[in-house]
Every structure is written in structure tokens, then in C-alpha cells.
């Protein structure tokens, strides 16, 4: 297979997605199939070709450095799972 | 003609003539949703109270003479567009509790025009899929045959239009998600040029491919919807700084002498004979209308699906990293530490297909593989776009099949990702190249509708709509609906 169970565990850790032990082999097979499918691109000669990151080759637009946002923090804090004193609450990071 | 059978253009004219009020029109569609949607599961949220209150306001606006063409017309929005105060789930458990505090630009534009939001439509989770089976809210069913998928990811919008639960809807298209469900449900859908419609407040899947667009019964209605959706938006730095023409203005123009590139003979080997037959008749019809058919070849398009399945998951893995259980959306119970909060919130909040694509994308972007996959795919993307542009120098429009066949059975492709991905064979090219493309109904195979795809030059949506409208003027495939057929 083009990808090993060890690599699947490694990328799932990078992606912060937990995979149950009994799913590792199945997922290795499934993602392996997808990687085999996309591997056919490797045979194409792309020397001298510039990558196309934006379909219209658009460049990043600039604007005047003027503040346009209004303070809507209350609205956004209002939909957060846990908030205290205008801050998002997460489990303790440092003991 | 009954209210629910009318097109947006007909409803708008009726409102103007005072044949009926917006309250009556809105009530009629809400009643149909309430009595029929249990068969299709096309809606995730029905916006009943707010819709009726907006209809009352629309009637006042019509009475005061300050109305626009969409004032008082009820439409549905794919549940990917943020709607202030109305749940926007993106078909995911991750956003099952998400009520946006702001409107996407698209919804804001429709609200300003006086259109009514009937509700939010079902979709594949985070728009990842071609069957609307990966939704957290259960699969959507094709109104032509409820054993079949409606296509995806904008399957709820397509099914709702086919079943006349709404006269029109918004959709989004990253690899075919407007056109393929339009083909499967026998409706008309348009993916505009990348940058034509603002992506602000449209939940991102693959940012360099995503584009919102209209879905309706007719090309004429798609033009009306696109007029409201389009335009440069300072809130979306990728939205194009292009003047928006009136997409309804050229619909009636004759297509005499128009050059249409066809890939038919290359495509034929992948199509069943019934589809080939319908496509041949549709192309003959275009010839009768004065168009000239020119054989073209797009060999690089065979690389489009694998290229797409590198770029889209890579961009998705990056975009979906924002869902971490901290600021909004799903948060797991009793996290032990920060890592556990991130990991369990994401693992419990995302469905299997979304996780698969995030993992594929993470792999393609990981150290040592970036150039091999993502960099390489972006170079091949340029080859694909260059090939389209070269063909479009010699022809005005490219025509071909939208899909490889009619709608497939529910559950038939769930265990085979590659087979599901190959459903996108004819559609992903336009996304990679950024070109506008649409699907229009051209007939039936096994009693299920199929579509023809039209692809145009950058920002030439008007030409596509013109060809589609002229075709629909001469044919009646777009006027056939399952409700009518089944006399339901």
C-alpha cells in the first residue's frame, strides 16, 4: 500500500482526528486507494510549468489601511461553548 | 396555473399584477414543504414564521411600488450560506448548534432584494460528496425516484426545486455540486466564473474552487437569481472586480452562428447509450437553432479528477482546522486537556467522509509530500486551464454530458470512494479552470432526468444563459417535473 498504518496514525495526530484502533487498517486501505488514484499525476511532466494557485491568476488586492470592522465581539462570544470575562475558556494548559 | 408550478419570472409578474400576494405565494410553498418534504428530506431548517413575516413586509413594499424583481419571491438557501439568526449547519454535527450572528453576502443581497427565505436545504457534510448521503441530517431523496440520490452536494436545493417545494435556490459548486444534482433532478443550475459571486459567509470547503450559484427550473430564473448574487465584495478579496452585466438582457438573442465545441465522441465511450442518444438530440436541437458544432478534444481533462482530489482535500484540511471546539460549533464533553478538546471535538463533530478528506489533505500537505502532491497538482491545473482556454479561442461554448449517467441508487456507492469521485469526471474541469458552467435538462434515461453541460469563457455567464434559454424555448424538458408526472 502507498501509505502505512503508522503514517495514518501520524497524520491523524497532525489533523487532530482520533482514529479507533480497529479502524486503522480499514482507513489505511481507504486512504491508500485514494493515494494510488492521485499518484497517477506523478507521471505527468510539469517541468517549466508555473503552479496555478488562483484560477484567474488574480493577485492579492490591497486596500487603504482604514478600520472598517465594528466591534461585534459580544455577538461572537455569545455563540461560543464557554466564555468568561470576554475570553474563550479552554482546559488548563499549564499546571 | 397553480402557484407552486410557476417559475420565478411568472411568480414575479403575478405579484406585480396583484394576481396573488407574497403571503399567498409563501404560504403555498410552506404548505408544500410541510406536506411533502418528509418524502425527500430536502430541508434541514424550515423558516416558517420569519418567512411569513418577511412576506407581509414584501407585500407592503410591492404596494408602495419600491419592489424589485425578487421582492416577495420565496427561495431556499443551501445550508452552507451563513444566515443571521437561522441555523447554518453545513450538513454537519459540528455546526448543529451554530446560529450565525451575521449574513453571508449572498443572503444579504437576497434579503435586500426582498426575497423570502423559505429555509435551508440539505447537503453533503461540508459539501463533500456527490449524493447528499453524508449529511448529519440523513440522506436527501430524489423526487423522481426516492430510491435514487438527488446528487450532491447541493442535493437538497435540487430536490426542493424538482419537487416544487421552492421555485429557486442557491447552491455551491466546488467540483460539480450545483451541476450534478441539477442533472440528476432535471433542473437548471449554473456555476459562475470563480470570483463572480462573493464567498463571504459561505462556509469554505476548498477556497480556490468554491463558487456559489443559482439553481432553478429555467435558465431565465437562473439569470434573475444571478443578477442578485453577483458582484465585487470588499469582504471577499478573491471576488472579481468586474462590472456585473444584466444577465437577463441577452436571453432572447438568437444563437445563429454560435460555435459550440463538442467532446461528444471522446465522451461517448463513458456514457450509456440512452444518455448518448439524448445528448445527440440536444446537440441537433442547438444546430437547428443555428449553432455550429465543432469537434474539439480535451485530453488533459482525464487528469482533472485526480488533480481535484489533491487540491480540494488539501484546502479542506486547512479550512476545516478552524473547527476546534473553542469558539463556536460542537465541543466534546469534559475534555481532559487542550489536545483532548481539539481531538475529541473534531472526531465526534465530523462524519467519516469529511475525516477521510481531511486526512488525505493533511497527508498531501505534510512535510516531504507538498511538492509531490499539492505543488504538482497546481501545475497540472494550469495545463488543464490552458487547454480549455485554447479550445475556447475557437469556440464560444463547450457542450457535453454533465454526468456519466442518471441518478444512482441510494447506498450503492458508499463503500467505494473512487467510484463516487469519478462521478465528477465532466464537472471538475470547470472548477479547476475557474470557468462558468451550467447544466440543463435534456431528457430521461430509465425515467430519471439527465443534463447537458455548457462551459463558457471567463465571465461569459450571459452567453451560457442565452444558449440555455434558447434551448429551453425550443424544448420542454425543463417543464417536466415529478409532481406533475405522478400527479401528486
pLDDT in tens, chain B (488 residues): 899 999 999 999 999 999 999 999 999 999 999 999 999 999 999 999 999 999 999 999 999 999 999 999 999 999 999 999 999 999 999 999 999 999 999 999 999 999 999 999 999 999 999 999 999 999 999 999 999 999 999 999 999 999 999 999 999 999 999 999 999 999 999 999 999 999 999 999 999 999 999 999 999 999 999 999 999 999 999 999 988 999 999 999 999 999 999 986 666 677 888 999 999 999 999 999 999 999 999 999 999 999 999 999 999 999 999 999 999 999 999 999 999 999 999 999 999 999 999 999 999 999 888 999 999 999 999 999 999 999 999 999 999 999 999 999 999 998 888 888 888 999 999 999 999 999 999 999 999 999 999 999 999 999 999 999 999 999 999 999 996 544 44
Compute the half-sphere exposure of residue B332: CA atoms within 13 Å on the CB side of its CA: 22
Interface contact flag, B376 A18, Cβ < 8 Å: no
- Closest partner CB to A51 (pick from B360, B382, B417): B382
DSSP per position, B356-395: HHHHHHHHHHSTTTTIIIIIHHHHHHHHHHHHHHHHHHH-
Residue B143 backbone zone (phi > 0: left; psi -120 to 50: alpha; other: beta): alpha
C-alpha distances (whole Å) from B66 to each of B25, B60, B70, B72, B175 are 19, 9, 12, 12, 39
pLDDT of B488 reads 43
Could you say which DSSP state residue B137 is in?
A: T
Cβ under 8 Å to B: A residues 4-33: 7-8, 11-12, 14-18, 27, 30-31, 33
Instruction: Using the Cα atoms of residue B316, residue B319, residue B321 and residue B324 in order, give the sign of their dihedral.
Output: negative
Q: B438, B468 in Cβ contact below 8 A?
A: yes
Q: Please name the residue ranges forming H helices in B41-153.
A: 48-64, 105-113
Q: Which residues of B touch A81 (CB under 8 A)?
A: 325-326, 328-329, 331
pLDDT of B267 reads 66
The catalytic residue positions of B are: 78, 153, 177
| Cell, residue A95 | 499546571
**Nearest CA distance, B38 vs chain A (angstrom):** 30
Do the strands B259-262 and B292-295 form a parallel or antiparallel pair, or are they unpaired?
parallel
DSSP per position, B230-274: BS--TT-TTS---PPP-TTTTTTS--TT-EEEE-HHHHGGGS-HH
| Cell, residue B65 | 411600488
User: Per DSSP, what are the bridge partners of residue B379?
Assistant: none
Q: B339, B292 in Cβ contact below 8 A?
A: no
Q: Which residues of A touch B363 (CB under 8 A)?
A: 3, 7, 11, 31, 35
Direct distance between the N- and C-terminal alpha carbons of chain B, in angstroms, rounded to an integer: 15
Test mutation, A32, A41, A59, chain B, max B CBs within 10 A: A41
Q: State how far the Cα of B229 lies from the Cα of B249, in Å rounded to an integer.
A: 16
pLDDT of A60 reads 78
Strand, coil or helix: what is B77?
A: strand
- Regarding predicted confidence, which is higher, A68 or A9? A9
Q: Please name the residue ranges forming H helices in B41-76.
A: 48-64
CB pairs under 8 A between A and B: 162
Q: A40, A77 in Cβ contact below 8 A?
A: no
**Which helix (H) or strand (E) is B448 found in, with range?**
strand B448-456
Number of H helices, E strands in chain B: 17, 11
Q: B384, A58 in Cβ contact below 8 A?
A: no
**Structural Rg of chain A based on CA atoms:** 22
Domain ranges of chain B: 3-258+394-486
pLDDT of B483 reads 63
Q: State how far the Cα of A60 lies from the Cα of A48, in Å rounded to an integer.
A: 24
The mean pLDDT value for A52-61 works out to: 83
C-alpha distances (whole Å) from B441 to each of B180, B185, B438, B474 are 11, 9, 10, 13
Cβ under 8 Å to B: A residues 38-67: 38, 40-42, 44, 46, 49-56, 58, 60-61, 63
Q: State how far the Cα of B467 lies from the Cα of B465, in Å rounded to an integer.
A: 6
- Regarding predicted confidence, which is higher, B66 or A2? B66
Q: Which of B447, B432, B431, B444 is nearest to B476 (CA)?
A: B444
pLDDT of B272 reads 83
Q: Which residue of B has its CA nearest to A13?
A: B343
Q: State how far the Cα of A72 lies from the Cα of A93, in Å rounded to an integer.
A: 28
Interface contact flag, A51 B307, Cβ < 8 Å: no
Reported CATH class of domain B3-258+394-486: alpha beta
Q: Which residues of A touch B340 (CB under 8 A)?
A: 91
Name the pTM for this structure: 0.97
Q: Which residues of A touch B241 (CB under 8 A)?
A: 61
Q: State how far the Cα of B303 lies from the Cα of A13, in Å rounded to an integer.
A: 31
Interface contact flag, B360 A92, Cβ < 8 Å: no
Interface contact A3, partner B, CB < 8 A = yes
Q: Which residues of A touch B360 (CB under 8 A)?
A: 31, 34-35
Q: B199, B464 in Cβ contact below 8 A?
A: no
Q: Which residues of B touch A51 (CB under 8 A)?
A: 375, 378-379, 381-382
Q: B305, B428 in Cβ contact below 8 A?
A: yes
**Nearest CA distance, A88 vs chain B (angstrom):** 7
Is the confidence at residue A69, as pLDDT, over 90? no
E strands in chain A: 83-84, 87-88
C-alpha distances (whole Å) from B361 to each of A8, B60, B366 are 12, 50, 8
Interface contact A76, partner B, CB < 8 A = yes
State the CB neighbour count (10 A cutoff) for residue B207.
14
State the CB neighbour count (10 A cutoff) for residue B10.
18
pLDDT of B197 reads 98
Q: B78, B169 in Cβ contact below 8 A?
A: yes
User: Position of cell 497527508?
Assistant: B363
Strand, coil or helix: what is B202?
A: strand
Instruction: Using the Cα atoms of residue B407, residue B412, residue B413 and residue B419 in order, give the sign of their dihedral.
Output: negative
User: Which distant-in-sequence residues (6+ apart) come within 8 Å of B143 by Cβ?
Assistant: B39, B40, B150, B159, B162, B163, B185, B481, B482, B483
Interface contact flag, B359 A91, Cβ < 8 Å: no
Is the ipTM above a cut-off of 0.90? Answer: yes
| Cell, residue B389 | 482556454
Amino acid at each position: 500500500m502507498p501509505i502505512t498504518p503508522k503514517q495514518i496514525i501520524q497524520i491523524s495526530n497532525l489533523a487532530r482526528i482520533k482514529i479507533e484502533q480497529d479502524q486503522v487498517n480499514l482507513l489505511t486501505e481507504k486512504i491508500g486507494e485514494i493515494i494510488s488514484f492521485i499518484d497517477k499525476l506523478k507521471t505527468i511532466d510539469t517541468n517549466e510549468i508555473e503552479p496555478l494557485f488562483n484560477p484567474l491568476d488574480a493577485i492579492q488586492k490591497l486596500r487603504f489601511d482604514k478600520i472598517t470592522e465594528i466591534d461585534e465581539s459580544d455577538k461572537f462570544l455569545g455563540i461560543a461553548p464557554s466564555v468568561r470575562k470576554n475570553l474563550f475558556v479552554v482546559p488548563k494548559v499549564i499546571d | 396555473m397553480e402557484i407552486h408550478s410557476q417559475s420565478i419570472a411568472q411568480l414575479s409578474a403575478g405579484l406585480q399584477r396583484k394576481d396573488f400576494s407574497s403571503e399567498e405565494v409563501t404560504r403555498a410553498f410552506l404548505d408544500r414543504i410541510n406536506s411533502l418534504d418528509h418524502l425527500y428530506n430536502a430541508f434541514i431548517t424550515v423558516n416558517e414564521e420569519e418567512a411569513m413575516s418577511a412576506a407581509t413586509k414584501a407585500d407592503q413594499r410591492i404596494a408602495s411600488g419600491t419592489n424589485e424583481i425578487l421582492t416577495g419571491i420565496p427561495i431556499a438557501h443551501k445550508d452552507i450560506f451563513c444566515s443571521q439568526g437561522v441555523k447554518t449547519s453545513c450538513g454537519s454535527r459540528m455546526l448543529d448548534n451554530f446560529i450565525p450572528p451575521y449574513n453571508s453576502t449572498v443572503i444579504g443581497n437576497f434579503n435586500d432584494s426582498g426575497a423570502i427565505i423559505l429555509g435551508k436545504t440539505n447537503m453533503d457534510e461540508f459539501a463533500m460528496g456527490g449524493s447528499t448521503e453524508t449529511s448529519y441530517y440523513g440522506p436527501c431523496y430524489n423526487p423522481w425516484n426516492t430510491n435514487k440520490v438527488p446528487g450532491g452536494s447541493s442535493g437538497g436545493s435540487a430536490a426542493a426545486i424538482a419537487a416544487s417545494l421552492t421555485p429557486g435556490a442557491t447552491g455551491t459548486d466546488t467540483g460539480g455540486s450545483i451541476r450534478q444534482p441539477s442533472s440528476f433532478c432535471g433542473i437548471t443550475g449554473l456555476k459562475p466564473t470563480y470570483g463572480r459571486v462573493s464567498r463571504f459567509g459561505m462556509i469554505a470547503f476548498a477556497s480556490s474552487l468554491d463558487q456559489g450559484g443559482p439553481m432553478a427550473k429555467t435558465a431565465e430564473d437562473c439569470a434573475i437569481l444571478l443578477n442578485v448574487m453577483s458582484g465585487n465584495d470588499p469582504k471577499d478579496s478573491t471576488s472579481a472586480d468586474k462590472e456585473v452585466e444584466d444577465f437577463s438582457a441577452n436571453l432572447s438573442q438568437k444563437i445563429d452562428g454560435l460555435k459550440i465545441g463538442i467532446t461528444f465522441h471522446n465522451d461517448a465511450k463513458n456514457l450509456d447509450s440512452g444518455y448518448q442518444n439524448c445528448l445527440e438530440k440536444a446537440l441537433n436541437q442547438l444546430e437547428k437553432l443555428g449553432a455550429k458544432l465543432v469537434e474539439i478534444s480535451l485530453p488533459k481533462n482525464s487528469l482533472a479528477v485526480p488533480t481535484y482530489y489533491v487540491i480540494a482535500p488539501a484546502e479542506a484540511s486547512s479550512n476545516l482546522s478552524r473547527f476546534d471546539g473553542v469558539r463556536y460549533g460542537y465541543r466534546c464533553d469534559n475534555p481532559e486537556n487542550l489536545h483532548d478538546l481539539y481531538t475529541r471535538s473534531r472526531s465526534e463533530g465530523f462524519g467519516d467522509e469529511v475525516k477521510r478528506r481531511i486526512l488525505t489533505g493533511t497527508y498531501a500537505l505534510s512535510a516531504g509530500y507538498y511538492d509531490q502532491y499539492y505543488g504538482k497538482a497546481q501545475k497540472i491545473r494550469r495545463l488543464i486551464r490552458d487547454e480549455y482556454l485554447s479550445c475556447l479561442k475557437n469556440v464560444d461554448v463547450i457542450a457535453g454530458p454533465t454526468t456519466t449517467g442518471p441518478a444512482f441508487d441510494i447506498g450503492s456507492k458508499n463503500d467505494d470512494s473512487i467510484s463516487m469521485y469519478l462521478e465528477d469526471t465532466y464537472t471538475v474541469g470547470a472548477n479547476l479552470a475557474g470557468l462558468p458552467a451550467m447544466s440543463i435538462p435534456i431528457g430521461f434515461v430509465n425515467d430519471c432526468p439527465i443534463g447537458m453541460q455548457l462551459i463558457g469563457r471567463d465571465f461569459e455567464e450571459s452567453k451560457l444563459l442565452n444558449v440555455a434559454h434558447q434551448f429551453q424555448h425550443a424544448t420542454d424538458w425543463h417543464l417536466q417535473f415529478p409532481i406533475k408526472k405522478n400527479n401528486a
